[in-house]
Amino acid sequence: MNILDNDRYLADIRKALDTVYDPELDQSISELDFVKGISINQGRVCVTLGLPTYWCSPNFAFIMMEDIDQALSSLPWVKQVRVILDDHESSTRLNAGIAEHKTFPEIFSESPGDLEKLRRTFAEKAFYARQKYIVDLLTRDGLNVADWIPGNWKELKRHLTTSREGQQLWDRYYLLAQKLGIASGDHDPAITGTSGKAVTGEMWERHFHQLRLITLNMESNAHICRGLLRVRYQPEGRSPLVSLPLVDQS
């Protein structure tokens, strides 16, 4: 292993971390600057997370930590993954639990509820938010969305893939539709509820109102979270600390 390998490994890790999302904000943990440090040593990777507050919901922290563990474990050269959450009320329990691959109820037996249901709820909200951004872009491009809906996936792709921004929105929306099991073949309706039911003209006004509210809620929360993270971990503009072994021992 040499320094160039490390660069490549680091790029792999960054790419994997880009796919891990804060479920509540629907932004990647890299974008949100939650990654405080990455270390690599002979195929062993350790990622340290810092969240906006000491009190951030442990269930969301768990989801992100579990997703990091999975995303990194799938890299072929990775032998072992450690995920460390710093400065959090449940750090000790979460760090140990994730290392032992425990489920959320195994770590927090006192916490009622169903984590998978929570994941689904937030994936549904994210689907609507992504739909809202698509509708906004189509409207800016001069399409009368109220007349066009529900459209189909083929038309949607044609509308969106002409620009980079559109392509990104399409990728994100399509990915989540697949994850939620919403039919997304060429002729399936493109603007739907999370059950896959087409949104029709008479439903549109109320539906759009709800999209707006969901997006506003998400963006407002993100604004608070980003600001709290910034003041919590001053100085500003820090980037993830990368600690690599100085001497290659392999």
Partner 1 sequence: MVKTADGEEIFVVDGHVALWDGSVANQKNRHGAEFIDCFYDYHRNLSPKEWLWPHDKFIHYDEQTFIHDVFEEGSVDVAIFQPVGLTDFYKEPFGNVAKNYALAQKYPGRLIGNGYFDPRDGEEGLERLEQWAKDYHLQGVKLYTAEWHGSSKGYRLADPWTQRYLAKCLQLGIRNIHVHKGPTIKPLNMDAFDVSDVDDAASAFPELNFIVEHVGLPRLEQFCWIATQDPNIYAGLAVADAFIYTRPRYFAQIISELLYWLNEDRIVFGSDYALWHPKWLIDMFLNFELPEDIAQETGVQLTKDIKKKILGLNAARLYQIDVPARISELQHDVIGQRVHQAG
Tell me which residues touch partner 1 (CB under 8 A). Answer: 24, 52-55, 57-59, 89-90, 108, 110-115, 118, 121, 209-210, 212-214, 216-217, 219-221, 223-224, 227-228, 230-232
Degrees, nearest 5: CA angle 237-239-244: 155
Residue 140 CB partners (closer than 8 Å, separation 6+): none
Comparing CB distances to partner 1, the nearer of 75 and 118 is: 118
Residues 22 and 200 sit within 8 Å (Cβ to Cβ) = no
Residues 8 and 212 sit within 8 Å (Cβ to Cβ) = no
Q: For the CB of residue 20, give the shortest distance to partner 1 in the complex, in Å.
A: 20
Comparing CB distances to partner 1, the nearer of 90 and 184 is: 90
Comparing CB distances to partner 1, the nearer of 6 and 57 is: 57
Q: For the CB of residue 159, give the shortest distance to partner 1 in the complex, in Å.
A: 22
Q: For the CB of residue 210, give the shortest distance to partner 1 in the complex, in Å.
A: 7
Residue 28 CB partners (closer than 8 Å, separation 6+): 17, 18, 19, 20, 21, 22
Alpha-carbon distance 96 to 102, whole Å? 9
Comparing CB distances to partner 1, the nearer of 132 and 159 is: 132
Q: For the CB of residue 93, give the shortest distance to partner 1 in the complex, in Å.
A: 11
Token digits for 215?
A: 């997006």
Comparing CB distances to partner 1, the nearer of 118 and 242 is: 118
Q: For the CB of residue 212, give the shortest distance to partner 1 in the complex, in Å.
A: 8
Going by C-alpha positions, the residue among 239, 134, 220 that lies closest to residue 177 is 134
